[in-house]
Structure 1
Amino acid sequence: MPSTQIHYDPSTPEFQNELWNVYRTMRDEYPVYHDPGSGFYALTRFADVWAAAADHDTFSSRVAEANDLLPQLIYMDPPRQTALRKLVSRVFTARRVAGMEDDIRNYIRSLIDTIAANGTCEFQHDYAAVIPSVVVGGMIGLDEQHIGPVRAWTEAFIDTTDTNKALEAAVGIYTTFAELLDERRHRPRDDMMTDLINAEIDGQRLSDEELLGFCLLLVLGGNDTTASLIGSGTVLLLRHPEQRDLLLNDESHWPTAVEEMLRFESPTQTLPRTATRDVELHGVHIPADSRVMLVWGAANRDEREFSEPDRFDVTRRAQRHAAFGHGIHFCMGSGLARMEARLALTEWFARFPECELAGDPERITSSWARAYDSVPLRLGGC
């Protein structure tokens, strides 16, 4: 029998400070956690999360959240998910992403120039959140006047203290993209919106609902998680100056540093699945139709998979981690996110190697995300 009582509730502000201890207890004593109130189950060990993510026949992505939003890939199963994913995956090819590097670097440098001229910085909103919104907005086809409002709306999906705010944000995004998609039908451009309008599956165009669902997912996945990665990665380096100095002295470690940031502070901490059949795991019976949470953040700190998992080490060469998911829902934009984070961090610390925290960063309360709402910085030498 478990020796420690535990209550897993990531929707509370307190959880953001105690999650690593909660996760450790869950992995050790409640590897299949059953919430007594809501009735959901949660998997926290790396091997269990990894296996469940790859078994879409048993752990379906059709979950309750899908009832409040228009159709989107993360809440679909094959064969429709496979066909729709194929349409978007061609946009995120390694060759195309690599071809964007110089433009992204040039934009980042101009943004840094602006911040340097101002002399102060609230890093999360002035820098970390701006870069992915501009990059993904450009790919989708958003003009400059739309990028700021869409970025603000997507941030509402992280903070889960007000579900009405998230639904209002979804309406704002849907309304904006409905107008833009209608405009593209009359005046096509070389952008993703035009490509999606013209795309066909078995001779059929995507429905209006599918188009809007795609657009919402692209801005959510492209904005929030990458912004969280850049913000969390920066705070980690400032709180571990020996790791920052190692990177400043040897830039070859930046790619592994980004992977370690993803593992250590996974931007997406958990996502839901629905059990399609009865499952027995670690002596616990999970009935069919149960809600099952795959807790990526806990899996990425599992000592059964990682040596000294609570040690932040930018030279770590882990064979795998679960920060981008696994299986058919593995993040299509992972290559772009990695590149954006690497460029954002290398350019920032090249310009401001002596920057430091000007106060305690403030975290967002979220049931699924690990993100900062505010990261005040002193720039140091420019």
Structure 2
Amino acid sequence: MSGSLDALTGENLFRDPYPVYARLRREAPVSLFQETGEWFVTRWSDCQTIGVKDALFGPSDSSGRPEARVMGMPNVLSMSGPEHACLRQGIDENLSAEKVNGYIERLARPIVNRFIKSIRERGAADLTTELFEPISVRIIGDFVGFTEVDVDTLTRWFHSLNGGLQRPNDPDAWAACERARNEIDDVMRPIVERVTSKPDHSLTSHVVHGGMAEGKVRGFDEIMPTMRVIVLGGLQEPGHGAANATFGLLQDPAQAVALTVDPAGLAQRAYDEGLRWIAPIGVTPRLAREEFELAGTVIPKGASVAIVLASANRDESRFEDADRFVLDRPRKQHASFGYRPHFCSGHYLSRSIGKIALEEAFSSLPNLRLDPDREVVSKGWRFRGVMNLPAVWDA
């Protein structure tokens, strides 16, 4: 056990958490991560146990967690009970499968095609930074109400918030996070004022008004912690999910060819497997309201617990050959969207954006393949993605 705990360091996790998680699942499936003071739960079955026991392992409202410092409190991830359910009414208003199916084509496909057109004739690009991230932030940015904010700024915002979460003791990372927080607040304030008096179809408007009694609205200070959660998770997940899936596909030319031949039929399966293989959001926090024994280890009352979604998705007892991206893997639910009642509100929108992005990329970029002369870079553990995905195609 000591060897596995020795490997559990922030540096190892940030570089590549998956070998660390594999050792923990084998040797110490419930382990205290000393650097953050949280108990890591790494096996599929144990993550399920914690995830469904919401009364016993509720959302963490600790002001000491990095999420509290970056997002502010209370936010949608820290709430429970009627207060959480009321807020989720506003967030979820326009995110059901039925609602998404009604607007996704006109929202997403023109944006996807515009960014593909901007790189198609070059025959080479970093598919993360020049295609999938811009697609993701533009679509979600417009959906939230950031229609006047440019792509570069939106991208910098989510990277900066991410840096504050993953490297809270790095002065440069925290300074960038603070700048992003202040800029987001400055942009959001007039948007909130506008939609308070004149509601529209943006997500911000739904958060201000949704679930509230007649004549009541949520104010700026009340919604901003939750809006920061949405900005970070929403802006980055569809883009990194698509990049992760594309990297998995391009590592195996036969799988890439299969998607090229049938993009409409296989793109959703590819995106979902990418979410399992590299979970964009790797950890979800909980708080132990009572002492609880799990996998032979006692988690103390009041302890901070991390459900390691990324590890659950690679658990060998759940997924055969779990470390490989497998396009035709038998369908099984993965853990990347978390557990109810905190199951990700935007899961269907994310999956729909990812499907369209993969469909169009593999349809429009002939003989798409990894660039042999440039390095693919992946990093992170609370949030992880293929940060640089250099590729070439026949222009």
Same fold (TM over 0.5): yes
2:190 to 176, 179, 197: 179
Whether 2:389 is the aligned partner of 1:375: answer yes
* 8 A contact 2:292–2:301 mirrored in 1: yes
**Which whole-Å deviations, capped at 9, do the CAs of 1:292-332 have from their partners, x for residues lacking one?**
11100110111111222123211112321101111211111
Letter in 2 for 1:85: R
Q: Which runs of 5+ in 1 are unaligned?
A: none
| 1:212 Cα deviation from its structure 2 partner | 1.9
* Higher mean displacement: 304-313 or 115-124: 115-124
| RMSD value, Cα | 2.2
Q: Where does residue 24 of structure 2 map in the other structure?
A: 26
Q: Return the alpha-carbon distance in structure 1 between the equivalents of residues 74 and 185 of structure 2.
A: 12
Q: Return the alpha-carbon distance in structure 1 between the equivalents of residues 38 and 203 of structure 2.
A: 37
Q: Where does residue 213 of structure 1 map in the other structure?
A: 225
**Which whole-Å deviations, capped at 9, do the CAs of 1:53-88 have from their partners, x for residues lacking one?**
121221121232454214321121222111111221
* 8 A contact 1:133–1:219 mirrored in 2: no
1:100 to 100, 103, 106: 103
* 8 A contact 1:306–1:318 mirrored in 2: no
Q: Return the alpha-carbon distance in structure 1 between the equivalents of residues 112 and 247 of structure 2.
A: 19
| 1:192 Cα deviation from its structure 2 partner | 2.9
Whether 2:241 is the aligned partner of 1:235: answer no
Secondary structure in 2 aligned to 1:158? helix
Q: Which runs of 5+ in 2 are unaligned?
A: 168-172
| 1:268 Cα deviation from its structure 2 partner | 1.0
Q: Return the alpha-carbon distance in structure 2 between the equivalents of residues 190 and 327 of structure 1.
A: 26
Letter in 2 for 1:35: F
Secondary structure in 2 aligned to 1:328? coil
Q: Return the alpha-carbon distance in structure 2 between the equivalents of residues 101 and 280 of structure 1.
A: 45
Whether 2:375 is the aligned partner of 1:360: answer yes
Matches within 5 A, 1:130-145: 130-145=134-149
Question: CA 1:16 to 1:357, structure 2 compared with 1: closer, same or farther past 3 Å?
Answer: farther
Q: Return the alpha-carbon distance in structure 2 between the equivalents of residues 52 and 260 of structure 1.
A: 23
Q: Where does residue 6 of structure 2 map in the other structure?
A: 7
Q: Where does residue 76 of structure 1 map in the other structure?
A: 79
Q: Return the alpha-carbon distance in structure 2 between the equivalents of residues 330 and 224 of structure 1.
A: 17
* 8 A contact 1:232–1:261 mirrored in 2: yes
**Which whole-Å deviations, capped at 9, do the CAs of 1:119-141 have from their partners, x for residues lacking one?**
54222121111112121122222
Q: Return the alpha-carbon distance in structure 2 between the equivalents of residues 291 and 110 of structure 1.
A: 44
Letter in 1 for 2:188: F
Letter in 1 for 2:53: D
Question: CA 1:75 to 1:167, structure 2 compared with 1: closer, same or farther past 3 Å?
Answer: farther
| 1:211 Cα deviation from its structure 2 partner | 2.3
* 8 A contact 1:92–1:332 mirrored in 2: yes
Query: TM-score with structure 1 length normalisation?
Result: 0.91
| 1:165 Cα deviation from its structure 2 partner | 2.3
Q: Return the alpha-carbon distance in structure 2 between the equivalents of residues 362 and 156 of structure 1.
A: 18
Q: Return the alpha-carbon distance in structure 2 between the equivalents of residues 253 and 119 of structure 1.
A: 24
Secondary structure in 2 aligned to 1:7? helix
Q: Return the alpha-carbon distance in structure 1 between the equivalents of residues 145 and 36 of structure 2.
A: 41
| 1:188 Cα deviation from its structure 2 partner | 4.8
Q: Return the alpha-carbon distance in structure 2 between the equivalents of residues 314 and 227 of structure 1.
A: 19
1:305 to 318, 328, 333: 318
Secondary structure in 2 aligned to 1:133? helix
Secondary structure in 1 aligned to 2:5? coil
Q: Return the alpha-carbon distance in structure 2 between the equivalents of residues 74 and 46 of structure 1.
A: 21
**Which whole-Å deviations, capped at 9, do the CAs of 1:255-290 have from their partners, x for residues lacking one?**
222221111111111122111111111221111111
Q: Where does residue 330 of structure 2 map in the other structure?
A: 317
2:276 to 257, 260, 263: 263
Q: What is the percent sequence identity of the aligned residues?
A: 23
* Higher mean displacement: 320-329 or 95-104: 95-104
Question: CA 1:49 to 1:100, structure 2 compared with 1: closer, same or farther past 3 Å?
Answer: same
Secondary structure in 2 aligned to 1:144? coil
Q: Return the alpha-carbon distance in structure 2 between the equivalents of residues 210 and 247 of structure 1.
A: 44
* 8 A contact 1:174–1:216 mirrored in 2: no
Letter in 1 for 2:182: V
Q: Where does residue 359 of structure 2 map in the other structure?
A: 346
| 1:23 Cα deviation from its structure 2 partner | 1.1
Count of aligned residue pairs for this structure pair = 378
Letter in 2 for 1:374: N
* 8 A contact 1:101–1:339 mirrored in 2: yes
| 1:150 Cα deviation from its structure 2 partner | 2.8
| 1:41 Cα deviation from its structure 2 partner | 1.1
**Which whole-Å deviations, capped at 9, do the CAs of 1:18-62 have from their partners, x for residues lacking one?**
422211111111011123455421100001111211212211212
Q: Return the alpha-carbon distance in structure 1 between the equivalents of residues 350 and 222 of structure 2.
A: 24
1:48 to 26, 46, 49: 46
* 8 A contact 1:228–1:267 mirrored in 2: yes
**Which whole-Å deviations, capped at 9, do the CAs of 1:98-150 have from their partners, x for residues lacking one?**
12332212221122111124554222121111112121122222223355423
Secondary structure in 1 aligned to 2:228? helix
Question: CA 1:16 to 1:66, structure 2 compared with 1: closer, same or farther past 3 Å?
Answer: closer
Q: Return the alpha-carbon distance in structure 2 between the equivalents of residues 314 and 130 of structure 1.
A: 25
Q: Return the alpha-carbon distance in structure 1 between the equivalents of residues 150 and 117 of structure 2.
A: 23
Q: Return the alpha-carbon distance in structure 2 between the equivalents of residues 304 and 241 of structure 1.
A: 28
